[in-house]
Amino acid sequence: MADALRIRLLREPEPPRSDGSPVRFGLQDRKGVMHDGLPRADGLRQFDFELIVAGDPDRGPPDFGGPFVSGSKGERFVYLSWQRLDGAGFMSRIKVRLKDIDWSLVRGAAGKALQADLRGAETGGGNRPVMWSVVDV
């Protein structure tokens, strides 16, 4: 089974901790390219993208791929990042782990999207659970 799964991430654009550097906030792909997302009226930034879901529900949890996915099987994640505008790398990043997405969420999101509201999320986070909900798009 290999299907597309719509994902929506929500986050305020201000970094959790700042070193004073001017930054660009976005969804980071595996090549390090930043994708800005859409500003919303409530002040959040919205990132809509797709993951590729692979695996067999009878043989284990889903696995994820696509241009935004990093990490090894069973530990996949995507990055929301604050990239320094002077080219000196990333000031901060949030690892949004994907292993909290099980087959029931994948099935429930058919024709919809999975959303994670990351307001107030601290940097890092690869070991912190992510609460996903099914939303209409």
What are the DSSP calls for 92-104, one per residue?
EEEEEE-TT--HH
Q: What percent of the chain has pLDDT over 70?
A: 96
| Residue 130: φ, ψ to 5° | -115, 130
- Sign for the pseudo-dihedral over CA of 9, 14, 16, 20: positive
**pTM of structure:** 0.94
Q: What is the pLDDT of residue 125?
A: 64
**pLDDT tens-digit map of 11-23:** 999 887 788 889 9
pLDDT class for 100, splitting at 50, 70, 90? very high
Residue 59 has pLDDT above 90, yes or no: yes
DSSP-assigned beta bridge partners for residue 6? 50
Domain ranges of the chain: 2-131
Residue 50 has pLDDT above 90, yes or no: yes
Rounded to whole angstroms, how far apart are CA atoms 35 and 131? Answer: 23
Q: What is the pLDDT of residue 94?
A: 94
Residue 80 has pLDDT above 90, yes or no: yes
Q: What percent of the chain has pLDDT over 90?
A: 81
